[in-house]
Amino acid sequence: MRAVDAVYTRIKELLSEKKMTMYMLAKRSGVPFSTISTMTRSKTVTLATIYGICEGFGMTLKEFFDSPLFARAAITD
């Protein structure tokens, strides 16, 4: 899985866990809705964007990346 795909998958997991929509996340994080919704077609994602998303979820970067999705063997790029 590409790193950007793992980030998007993690966001979808957290949205479900926290019963939030992408729109709610965009409002809470300050990251534009269009940025969040187009990550699947994107080739890159910035740390600043992930940081903003973490702010929207009320979590740290460490908590965000604490997922099997980000295990070294899971990332292919």
Task: Sketch the domain layout of the chain as residue ranges.
Answer: 3-74
Model confidence pTM above 0.85: yes
Name the residue with higher pLDDT: 7 or 77: 7
Dihedral sign computed on CA atoms, order 31, 37, 42, 44: positive
Whether domain 3-74 has CATH 3.20.20.70: the reply is no
Q: pLDDT tens-digit profile of 42-66?
A: 888 899 999 999 999 999 999 999 9
| Residues in Cβ contact with 26 at an 8 Å cutoff, skipping those fewer than 6 apart | 32, 33, 35, 36, 56
